[in-house]
Structures are given as C-alpha cells and as structure tokens.
Chains A and B, each alone.
Chain A
C-alpha cells in the first residue's frame, strides 16, 4: 500500500515515515517541498494520503470527487470513520487527517491514522513544552529587568525590589510578570521632547 505523507514539518514527516516503514507492506512517500498536494497525488497515485491539517492546499483534495478536471483516475475523499468518533476527534485535535482512495478498505487505514495521531501528539507536546520553557525564561528575564530598574530608581536592595513587585501583584490580583512588564513599560518610555 502506497502512503503519501503531506507535512511541511520535515522532522515530523521523517519521524512518521520511519515509524510507518517498520511495516514492510507500506511504501511511504514524502511530499517534496514546494510541491502541491494535488500534483503529488497525481504523480504518485497513493492509496492513502496522510495530511497535516494546517496545509492550506488540503481544500483541493476535498474537491477531487466532484471536479472532473482534477485529472485523477482514482478519486480520493476524506476518510471518515462513522463508528469511531473518538478516533476522528483525536485525529483533528492532533492536527492530522487521512484522504483515501475510495476503494481502499477501511481496515487498512485506522492503524496508520492511530500511529500518525500518536506522533503528532508527541510533537505537539514537545513543542508546547519548548514554548513554555522559553516563556518561563523570558518571564524571568523581564522580572529581573524590572527588579534592577526598581533598585536603581529607588536605591534599594534586590529583596526589597522583589518584595515590592510581589506586593503590587497581590494587591491588584495580577501575576508578578504582568506587574513587571507594566513597570518596565512605564519607566522606560522615552520622554516626549
């Protein structure tokens, strides 16, 4: 069975390809960069297309069935498992879906889709952790900058500066990072001439 992976995230596409290639009955093709989904489907004639749902050209595959000019001999359509709603919801939540050649038996698709969901989830989690880590780092930097500016302005110690930020946050029911950001914005504004 020929599977086309359409994902602009080359790292994720590569990881999914390695995962699927463990099954020797599958021939896995990666969509080349700057190739449209339709062109790739036309030239490779896959049985299944696993698509990253953030790909804007996915709309073209939606139309294949009705568009006689699409030039595809074997019509493809969005794979829908009517009996397994959770699988479909998980797939869209993870950001992946499958387009199948209409005569491909459904039983072949679900394990593939499950592998893709697991992998996409893993990538999403790693990405979210990375973003959270970056945010924590940048929050800490902002608080430090506000603290040092306060120390300079008020000629006080670091503990006093932090205590002042924390007190402001408690009194106004906000986070320390928000108070720090506001303090910096207020005190580093360029004075008008």
Chain B
C-alpha cells in the first residue's frame, strides 16, 4: 500500500480535520456504524498467555462506580480505605504475589490499581480469604456491590464482578484488536484476515463499547520477575 495517493485520497485523509465532517461523524456516521456493526464489550484485565514472563507483573485497573459521588460520599470512601490501611498491608503481605496496590477517587469512581503475579482469580480469591471484611466495606460504597456482601460467601460472583469492572487492556500490538473482536463475537480470529485500513474504524467502534480502557498492558522496568523474586533479591524475605 502506498501513502501518496491521488487528490481523492488526500481529500479523504483531511476529512477528520474539517468541522462539518466532525459534526457529521459524531452525530450520524459513528452512531450509524455502531448500529450496523455493534461490538461486544471486551473483557477486562490481562489476557491468558503461555509465556511465563507474561504471567507475572500483571496489571489490574479496577474502576468501580460510587453510589454517592458527592463530597460526603467521597469522604466516606476515603474513610473506608483509611480505617483499613493496616489490614490492607497485612493482606498484601499474606497474599504474597502483589507488587503494588493503590486506591484512587476519580470523578464518579473509586479505583483500585494493582500489579500482581499469576492468575487473576487466585489473586482475588486469596485476597478475599485474607481481608474479605475490607472488601465488604469497599463494595458497600459501590453501585451493584450490595449483592456481593459478604464477599467470603460470594467468592465466585465477586471474582466475576471484579473481572467485569477491570479495564480492557488494548493490545500492545494494535492489529491484535481484530482477533480479540472476532473472538468476542464468536468468530475464529483473523479468518478471513482484516484490512489494515479498517483498524481506526474498529477501534472507534470498540471505544464505544469500552469507553475506558488501559492503553496497552503497562510498562515494566524489570519484566519477568515476580514480587517474591524481587523481595528475595533484596533480602527482605518472601
């Protein structure tokens, strides 16, 4: 494929910068394509991989809508975390596979961002078994969370729920998006192969289904090492 096409290609390429076309695409073209070619919401979290190095330092971006996002509601959320800091630290220690974890209040959401090793379900399950009561307090502040309390009696549901609220991670190789969309729609991935030039359109349609996403799987300064390996090297025990 060549990049210096004729006048028509240059005209088409300039469309996204033209005001009338921006208006047309926002209110007509994109809604039409969304209706014509709806994309299923893609699942959150890191994807299963056969590579050992891909199974450590995995990223969780858990975005949970607050029931009450007023300053008072936000303060309650802040309090719930602050009152349980000791339990959270102890829990992270006992689960043993966590590199970092932090909570954010962001617009109408409370977010839990963490880097962990190994399987997502094991991570969440071990966490519930360690500090389920803290999770109960957090999810009691969140839309749809009441059905999950107590989390120790709703382990399977809680894992599914967290997975559903974990951000979709856009693939590090952009064209991998095609295969993920095919799989989500129940087709075999990349057969027939997709045209590269349809990638921007597919991404726009996907962002309609997954408005919040993680751009890639995240940057790692020391890829392939588990938290326990790092702790071991530092001599702080594992």
Same complex for A and B? Answer no
Residues on B lying within 8 angstroms of A by beta carbon are none
Residues on A lying within 8 angstroms of B by beta carbon are none
